[in-house]
Structure 1
Amino acid sequence: MEYKVGSLFAGIGGICLGFKNATHADGSYKMVWANEIDEYAVETYKKNFNHPMIDGDIEKILQPEREENEELRSDYYKKREQILQHQIDVLTAGFPCQAFSIAGYRKGFDDERGNLFLSIIDLIQQLGEKHEKPKMLFLENVKNLKSHDKGRTYKVIKEKLEEEGYYVKEAVLNTKEFTRLPQNRERIYIIAFRDSIEATNFTMFENLENFKVERNQVERVEAIDGVLDLHLTKENADKYYYTKKKYPSYFLTEEEYNNIDETERKEHRINIDEEITEEYQFYQVRRGMYVRRNMNGVCPTLTANMGTGGHNVALIKVRDGVRKLTPAETFKLQGFPIGQGYELPKDYKGRPFSDGRLYKQAGNAVSVDMAQLIAEEMLKAVTITKKHFYEDVIVTN
């Protein structure tokens, strides 16, 4: 059976691609539509998916009367009809996380981005009035959502979903523990079913140990090798390299460090050439104060602001120096098959598509492989339920 999927806050399609790739002997998914407000993410999304992208502010799309401009209001009405014309089986949403993130201000529902969760509820209700509510939900957010405001924020979210008739399960999962992707990325995944038996049959979150991926050192290196573009050199990718000319304070010799007045020099001397020495490892210059190797051997969590510099930049040792990850490499660390069916835009509206935009998109994305793994377990839950139902019908008759 083919289950129809609609995607809110779709970004560049991490969840969508995961669902598209998910397969099971008795079921699969079909993407029907996606929604995203960021025009640059929309451009990347449209380049890689064929189904409709209904772009724009979902709050105004679902409530067009809020828009004062008559022309825009008319456009929002049309977009709402586009969304509501389809009955969907699954609603997915990687709803904005900045309001709950440790890296953000942690304002939760006091931040308008936190209130965007209520758009999910609004859409569920409108779909219920037009057709029926989605059978399943797949929601993703930062792990801090679970503990935010001493758990009260998540309690509200769960209660809202339960009021709509859903049985809710959640778990905080780390990409590096459950997929082949070498990135440390903890996120909360919220899965909900309208059918209590299907919810019961979704047992992944109760049996997480069975899904963990164990890697030895050779397999770890192979996984990293699969995402790094090691053919790049200073000649063809100079802008990604860290050199003394670009970052003089990161290449201080002992003599240079000692010649700095004690009142002005930092507590620790930084010399990237001396401290970043191992290939297939990830490093960071933390707060501009010291170099740190990521001790678990995988890339630290990719963030939306890693393109702006600072301690969020992951650095790697390559044959001809030290460089930061390229946008393509960050996308691959999220599971996007760059050069194998997924492409990055090169320009937009007549201007080059900036690396900063791409870094932001990768940092905001949902790991494709995580979405696929959970989507497949959701398929198993609903197909097992249907199989048992038909078996019971046959026996009864």
Structure 2
Amino acid sequence: MYTLAGLFGGVGGIELGFEQAGYDVLWANEIDQKASITYKLNHQHELLVDDIHNVEPYQIPEVDIITGGFPCQAFSIAGYRKGFNDDRGNLFFEILRLIIAKKPRVVFLENVKNLVGHDNGNTYQVIIEALEMNGYHVKDKVLNGSEYGNVPQNRERIYIVAFANKNDYEKFEFPGPVRLEKTLHDVIDFENKVDERYYYRPDKCKFYHILEENIKHEGSIYQWRRKYVRQNKSGVCPTLTANMGTGGHNVPLIYTKHGIRKLTPQECFRIQGFQECFKLPDDIAVSHLYKQAGNSVVVPVVQRIAEKIKMALDANPNYEKVMENQLSFSL
């Protein structure tokens, strides 16, 4: 069984995808205290709750794979487009520092699609060249959760898989698209009443009349955009974002017989492909849970990539941990 250590673990979505593909997760790191509560509720392996700048290589066990869904704000349209000039962008080099020290057989990274085009592609080129200069062979692809994970969410992400061994690299292929069979009704409860806190009521919402005029069709996702309502007519949920926790206008809305309401945190996690058994703590604010859901990954997409990685590694049983290129990138 292949072993794994996760950086920027969040609530453990990447680790969960690899576990479902048959990997043994030994260790993970996450800085956010609230996310760590959710992580520990759902995972049994060691979680180091600390800033990645403080993580030393000796703290990470010897593993086959190191993963990292490193923070995407620095590269996102929703962020400030500062790239490596933003401290969050520089966190990639913390991943690189630990990769150089541990030399895992595989590196798996996930980020927003816009990372590829940031600064006319220069940011992404630096990332790929840094991996290649340290002996890794890199494959990457932008995958949409609705097309590759059978989840009703339009969520495009760049996935980077880097191999220390060229034979592993040559055997690996990203998974192909799958038919979208899950609907919004499969992940959202349109029938039963949920906690009253999630509903918009005339006496508690000053813009309720605008919502009432525009949100009328069950089975659609709506978004409140501060001054107007937008209906998503694609039949899937728009991309869930981390800033859902910073204001109600960022949480997708639906129409039900019990009233107009926002999605619950549980529904947001299901839209990300988390199974019903995934636990959410009841002692932290829902704003943190929304943030955690928006920051996470489409678990089935990660699982499918992990399965393809496993097939590539299985095809090379005589692998020895020898890097083909020992150049060290200047940090």
Following TM superposition, where does structure 1 have runs of at least 4 consecutive aligned residues deviating by more than 4 angstroms? none
Contact 2:184 2:235 in 1 (8 A): no
Please say which of residues 191-200 and 242-251 is displaced more in the overlay.
242-251
Please report how far the alpha carbon of residue 290 of structure 1 lies from its aligned counterpart in structure 2 after TM superposition: 2.1
- The code of the aligned residue for 2:251 comes to V
- The code of the aligned residue for 1:12 comes to V
- The code of the aligned residue for 2:160 comes to I
Q: Give distance in 2, aligned partners of 1:4 and 1:20.
A: 10
- The code of the aligned residue for 1:170 comes to D
Matched residue SS, 1:169: strand
Matched residue SS, 2:281: coil
1:1-397 superposed matches below 5 A: 2-22=1-21, 28-62=22-56, 81-83=58-60, 86-127=61-102, 133-204=103-174, 211-215=176-180, 219-220=181-182, 223-230=183-190, 232-233=192-193, 237-251=195-209, 270=210, 272-286=211-225, 288-309=226-247, 311-338=249-276, 340=277, 342-347=278-283, 353-386=284-317
Cross-structure match for 1:262? none
- Deviation string 1:208-252 (CA, Å, 9 cap, x unpaired) is 6xx22234xxx45xx32221134542xx5111111222223230x
Q: Give distance in 2, aligned partners of 1:387 and 1:125.
A: 22
Q: Give distance in 2, aligned partners of 1:172 and 1:311.
A: 28
Please say which of residues 153-162 and 171-180 is displaced more in the overlay.
171-180
| Superposed CA RMSD | 1.8
Please report how far the alpha carbon of residue 379 of structure 1 lies from its aligned counterpart in structure 2 after TM superposition: 0.9
- Deviation string 1:72-116 (CA, Å, 9 cap, x unpaired) is xxxxxxxx5331xx2110000000111111111111100111111
Q: Give distance in 1, aligned partners of 2:204 and 2:153.
A: 27
Matched residue SS, 1:155: helix
Flag structure 2 segments of 5+ consecutive residues without an equivalent. Answer: 320-331
- Deviation string 1:264-315 (CA, Å, 9 cap, x unpaired) is xxxxxx3x223212212101122x2222111211111111111222542200
Q: Give distance in 2, aligned partners of 1:31 and 1:144.
A: 29
Matched residue SS, 2:240: coil
Q: Give distance in 1, aligned partners of 2:97 and 2:58.
A: 14
Matched residue SS, 2:237: coil
Flag structure 1 segments of 5+ consecutive residues without an equivalent. Answer: 23-27, 63-79, 128-132, 252-269, 348-352, 389-397
Q: Give distance in 2, aligned partners of 1:50 and 1:309.
A: 33
Please report how far the alpha carbon of residue 201 of structure 1 lies from its aligned counterpart in structure 2 after TM superposition: 1.2
Matched residue SS, 1:293: strand
Larger Rg: 1
- Deviation string 1:38-67 (CA, Å, 9 cap, x unpaired) is 0111111011100000110111223xxxxx
Structure having the higher helix fraction is: 1
Q: Give distance in 2, aligned partners of 1:346 and 1:310.
A: 20
- The code of the aligned residue for 2:109 comes to L
Q: Give distance in 1, aligned partners of 2:150 and 2:79.
A: 28
Q: Give distance in 2, aligned partners of 1:227 and 1:126.
A: 42
Please report how far the alpha carbon of residue 387 of structure 1 lies from its aligned counterpart in structure 2 after TM superposition: 8.9
Q: Give distance in 1, aligned partners of 2:264 and 2:292.
A: 13
Matched residue SS, 1:53: strand
Q: Classify 1:282/1:387 alpha carbon distance in 2 versus 1 (closer, same or farther; 3 Å).
A: farther
Contact 2:190 2:218 in 1 (8 A): no
Number of residue pairs matched? Answer: 320
Q: Give distance in 2, aligned partners of 1:343 and 1:310.
A: 23
Identity of aligned residues (%): 51
Matched residue SS, 1:162: helix
Q: Give distance in 1, aligned partners of 2:266 and 2:191.
A: 13
Q: Give distance in 2, aligned partners of 1:383 and 1:184.
A: 32
Matched residue SS, 1:165: coil
Matched residue SS, 2:63: coil
Structure-2-length-normalised TM-score: 0.92
Cross-structure match for 1:68? none
